[in-house]
Structure 1
Amino acid sequence: MLKNLSLQRGQAMPLIVGFAAIISFATLLVFNNAMGGVERMRTSSAADAAVYSGAVWQARMLNGEAYMNKGMVANQVAIAQLVSIQNWVQYVDRTAENFDDLADVLIPLKIISTPLLAATTAAATATELFVIPATIVTDRVIGALQDTQDALHTAGRVGASSIMTAVVRENDERFEVTDLGILWMEQNQDDWRNFTISYKDLEGMTRKKTVIENSQDQFSDNRSWKWRVPLYMSTVAYVLKEQVVKHGETRLYMEADPEVENKFRWQWRSRDTMSYHVGYFDEWGWPRSPREVAPIGWHQTTLDSGEQIKQNWGSRWSRNKEGEDDAIEESEELIATYQGVRTYRDVAELDTTEQEGRDPRLIVAIEIVLPSDEVRNTSNTDIGSDQAPESKSRNGLGLKVFGMDDGYSESEIGGDRGVAAVAAAEIFFRRPVERQAGKFGAQDSKEEFANLFNPYWDVRLKDSSEHRELAWATRGLAAIPNGAAAQ
């Protein structure tokens, strides 16, 4: 019995060695596969982060350009307000002067008219001292906003590529942007350059003029009213109706320069009038509409960007015909530097009859790669052997047992390239949900087409299948991890 035991001594050693080899092989294989999945996820996440960051940058630049447009419009409205205030104060002063002239006949009224005229004259002088420099400063602010808009446009074209490259490197210094990724970034720069244009022609400037006019406040747009004199206050017994009609508004005029193409002269024209109207019965006993009997006060002020515009100069804006004629005849020009409505940037495709014109998109895409010699696996981390044994091992398991494969097929890494990932994002215009629903100041729930007057540009990742197919066609790759799911 003892003799048999001694003959079996050492029989388990080959089995132990064999099991150890199998376990080692399995461990290294699992390690490689696990690290392969991690590297693919990190590469894909880095590609997503890069395109999203680049798209966010460009969306912010578009929204910044929209704010510049809003700022230019707001400051044009501010100039309209300044001209309106100047004209209204001068109109009040003119009304007080007419009242003082009436007091020359009705002497007791001098007690009121004299101090009133002095006060309005002082107010008119003080207002002019404020309005002129305020208009000059506001006009310079508009010029600064225009320059800033141009700078934002340049920054959007150049900055996105730099940001995307920086994000890739910050995620992992081992990542590299491929030549195809660089080509896509250059394509994005070209798309960005053509996505918006500077409008300076007649149609474009007329559109901006309309936006400014629709943005005017109530005081500059329409400060009119009328007051019907009660019957018990009627001055004549047979009078049907007596009215005091006040009309005031400020309008923007543009006129093409006949000597220079795409150059326009601009004018803010503000007019205030007040007249006394009376309606009578005619000889047949029928009431007639009140007619202007006497103008009470009037004034007109203009602010020109160059040579004074005489467009529709004699046109009347209200029923106060005599008052308006007097205002036009005594019109005064506000002496202040004013460059008019500036050129502006807006989306290039404004054709709302086609979907692409209503909803243009700007695409950002990238391809990055983790070189094969940077992949963390048994070959690059000194775990196992990255070379096959030159001869048969003593354990008899054969060659290439510990010459571990990296865990990536040729189709996935493109030969010796490593792990590659493609991602894409899009910049789009969408009115906020609250405004679509008619809430928070929205006047309606209509669709708003893409424009650079409202900062509603947003970003989202998009399906990168088309870019992956292009990468396959370009490099002969059979499978590149998708950087983002379809949205």
Structure 2
Amino acid sequence: MDTIAIGLRLRRHRGARSARCATGGPHRQRGQALVLALVLLFAGLLALFFLFSTGQVTASRQRLTNAADAAAYSAAVWRARVLNFHAYANRAIVAQEAAVAQAVTLTSWAKYFENFTVTARRLASAWPPAAAVLAVVAKVAGTARNLTERTAADEIPLRAAPLLGYKSLLQRSQETLQLAADTFGLGAVANEVVRANDPGFFAFALGDGGAFAGFTRRYASDADRTRLRDVVIDSLDGFVKGPRRDDVRLLPLPSGCFGSTFDTSRWFQWWRKRGGTALTPDLERWEAVDTGSVHDYRRRRGFFSSSCQQYESLVVGWGAAEATDAAPLNGVQSNAGDTWDNAGATWRASLEMSGNGYTGFERYGGIERVRELNYAGLADPRFPVTQVVVLARSDGARVRTANALNVGTGRLRLFEHFAGDRLWAMAVGEVYFRRPPAAPARIEYASLYSPYWQARLAEPTAAQRAAVLAYVH
């Protein structure tokens, strides 16, 4: 029985060894799991580094994109403000021209009223009470005329002198700001904005091939300046623009044709007031004239018939003034308000046009050469737009990826590549013309006389994207 028991134990021991050999044994199982774990760990680290780097790049790109959008919008806002400044400046220049016209008009009318009262005093010399009153009125009128003339002589150079007048300074400031709204100036604005977001960012405006330079233009010819003259004339009030006209039938004074014609309007004499203000055709001189005369009718006999002819029988009031850029002409060139209906009074006004000889009336610079939209060069003259393309960049080394932080080494380093070793972002700002929502509901087309230029972000065009890609790569 001992021999049988020993044989059984030997067979069991051999069976156990055979089973262990068939299954590979516990030691061989532990070695294979370690290799698999190392592979999975390596893949997990790569995935972790990739996700970390991707997140860092995405966050950096988003910050750069936001900065580029802010820069493009700010650049567009600056350009819109420059265009609005042009509009305000043009309006202010129109106001200065209107003020010069008003100063000349008031001077002319003050001279007219003074001469009117002096003549009336002489005519009333046969009635001492009336003459005494008119003498006081004439003295007051003389003082008012002198004060008006002196004030106008001081005001005209301040508003319209060729070099240092307010409207000349406005026109030159337009040219200065126009340069600031070009690509170089907007690039400086864009760079300042992105650096305020991150000192490591840099931005500039992509060249537009002279598109903005052709968006506006400065008046070059007298035909261009005529447009500004028309705006000025339309802005004058009724008294300045004229005609300052009045026709009164003098019923107590019968004419030389009284009862001798069927036209009863010629039976009596007429008081005719004429006056007006005009800008001469060369656009370099304002003149104003005011006259008042009594007109009579006299019979003119011909060989076969006779007629009643009107003539200026008595000159009562006259006055004229001018603002020019040279020596005074002392002559009325226009027929503003039909002033030559009173030819005698107009001649007298011409002789006294220089007044007291104040030199301020000789320092008017003429209609300015302001800036306006270049309608001929615009794709849509009614609602034009101008765009600025902003490129923002950041050094690729500043992106805190796994490689930049030296977290992964050797085979754990990821392949990273930025265009030009930089991170780039693109944005487009657009300037457009639109009345504000609170304005009256009516359509107004774009011009540089209305300050309704606004800014917004726009979607880049295919051509702009291609230009940016060519620059980056």
Tell me which interval the TM-score lies in, with the shorter structure as reference length: 0.7 to 0.9
- Give the Cα–Cα distance (whole angstroms) in 1 for the partners of residues 246 and 78 of structure 2: 53
Contact 2:285/2:366 (CA < 8 Å) preserved in 1? Answer: no
- Give the Cα–Cα distance (whole angstroms) in 2 for the partners of residues 147 and 318 of structure 1: 37
Q: Does 1:145 align with 2:166?
A: no
Change (3 A) 1:458 1:291: farther
Extract unaligned runs of 5+ from structure 2.
1-25, 298-307
Q: Paired residue for 2:287?
A: 269
Contact 1:69/1:453 (CA < 8 Å) preserved in 2? Answer: yes
Q: Paired residue for 1:313?
A: 333
Q: Does 1:362 align with 2:386?
A: yes
Residues 208-246 of structure 1: CA deviation (Å, up to 9, x unaligned): 22222122223311263647679xx76669866987554
Change (3 A) 1:418 1:125: closer
Secondary structure class of the residue paired with 1:421: strand
Out of 179, 199, 217, the residue aligned to residue 173 of structure 1 is 199
AA of the residue aligned to 2:232:
I
Q: Paired residue for 2:219?
A: 199
AA of the residue aligned to 2:177:
L
- Give the Cα–Cα distance (whole angstroms) in 1 for the partners of residues 415 and 334 of structure 2: 90
Q: TM-score, normalised by structure 2?
A: 0.74
Contact 2:396/2:421 (CA < 8 Å) preserved in 1? Answer: yes
Report the structure number with the largest CA radius of gyration: 2
AA of the residue aligned to 2:95:
A
Count of aligned pairs between the two proteins:
415
Out of 302, 316, 325, the residue aligned to residue 322 of structure 2 is 302
Q: Paired residue for 1:351?
A: 376
Distance apart, 1:363 and its partner CA? 2.3
- Give the Cα–Cα distance (whole angstroms) in 1 for the partners of residues 127 and 293 of structure 2: 20
Contact 1:292/1:320 (CA < 8 Å) preserved in 2? Answer: no
Q: Does 1:115 align with 2:141?
A: no
Change (3 A) 1:202 1:129: closer
AA of the residue aligned to 1:302:
E
Q: Paired residue for 2:187?
A: 161
Q: Does 1:35 align with 2:53?
A: no
Contact 1:305/1:338 (CA < 8 Å) preserved in 2? Answer: yes
Give 1:263-412 correspondences, 5 Å limit. Answer: 266-275=284-293, 296-308=316-328, 313=333, 315=335, 317-318=337-338, 321-322=341-342, 324-331=343-350, 332-333=353-354, 335=358, 336=360, 337-347=362-372, 349-351=374-376, 355-382=379-406, 384-385=407-408, 387-388=409-410, 400=411, 402-405=412-415
Change (3 A) 1:175 1:347: same
Distance apart, 1:79 and its partner CA? 0.9
Q: Does 1:89 align with 2:89?
A: no
Contact 1:47/1:421 (CA < 8 Å) preserved in 2? Answer: yes
Distance apart, 1:268 and its partner CA? 0.9
AA of the residue aligned to 2:290:
D
Contact 1:226/1:243 (CA < 8 Å) preserved in 2? Answer: no
Change (3 A) 1:32 1:302: same
Percent of matched pairs sharing the same residue:
23
Change (3 A) 1:380 1:300: same
Q: Does 1:250 align with 2:277?
A: yes
Name the Cα RMSD after superposition. 3.8
Residues 437-479 of structure 1: CA deviation (Å, up to 9, x unaligned): 24xxxxxx4x4233x2332222222211432123335556xxx
Contact 1:200/1:343 (CA < 8 Å) preserved in 2? Answer: no
- Give the Cα–Cα distance (whole angstroms) in 1 for the partners of residues 61 and 214 of structure 2: 35
Distance apart, 1:348 and its partner CA? 5.6
Change (3 A) 1:155 1:418: closer
Change (3 A) 1:375 1:423: same
Out of 449, 453, 459, the residue aligned to residue 453 of structure 1 is 449
Distance apart, 1:132 and its partner CA? 1.1
Out of 466, 469, 472, the residue aligned to residue 466 of structure 2 is 469
Out of 418, 428, 436, the residue aligned to residue 432 of structure 2 is 428
Q: Please state which structure has a larger fraction of its residues in helix.
A: 2
Q: Paired residue for 2:20?
A: none
Contact 2:108/2:320 (CA < 8 Å) preserved in 1? Answer: yes
- Give the Cα–Cα distance (whole angstroms) in 1 for the partners of residues 85 and 312 of structure 2: 51
Q: TM-score, normalised by structure 1?
A: 0.72
Change (3 A) 1:219 1:304: same
AA of the residue aligned to 2:364:
Q
- Give the Cα–Cα distance (whole angstroms) in 2 for the partners of residues 427 and 93 of structure 1: 55
Residues 34-73 of structure 1: CA deviation (Å, up to 9, x unaligned): 2222122112112222222222222222222332222222
Secondary structure class of the residue paired with 2:375: coil
Contact 1:52/1:461 (CA < 8 Å) preserved in 2? Answer: yes
- Give the Cα–Cα distance (whole angstroms) in 2 for the partners of residues 92 and 310 of structure 1: 19
Contact 1:292/1:319 (CA < 8 Å) preserved in 2? Answer: no
- Give the Cα–Cα distance (whole angstroms) in 2 for the partners of residues 327 and 273 of structure 1: 6
Contact 1:245/1:320 (CA < 8 Å) preserved in 2? Answer: no
Contact 2:109/2:290 (CA < 8 Å) preserved in 1? Answer: yes
Higher deviation after alignment, 454-463 or 427-436: 427-436
Change (3 A) 1:346 1:119: same
Change (3 A) 1:316 1:53: closer
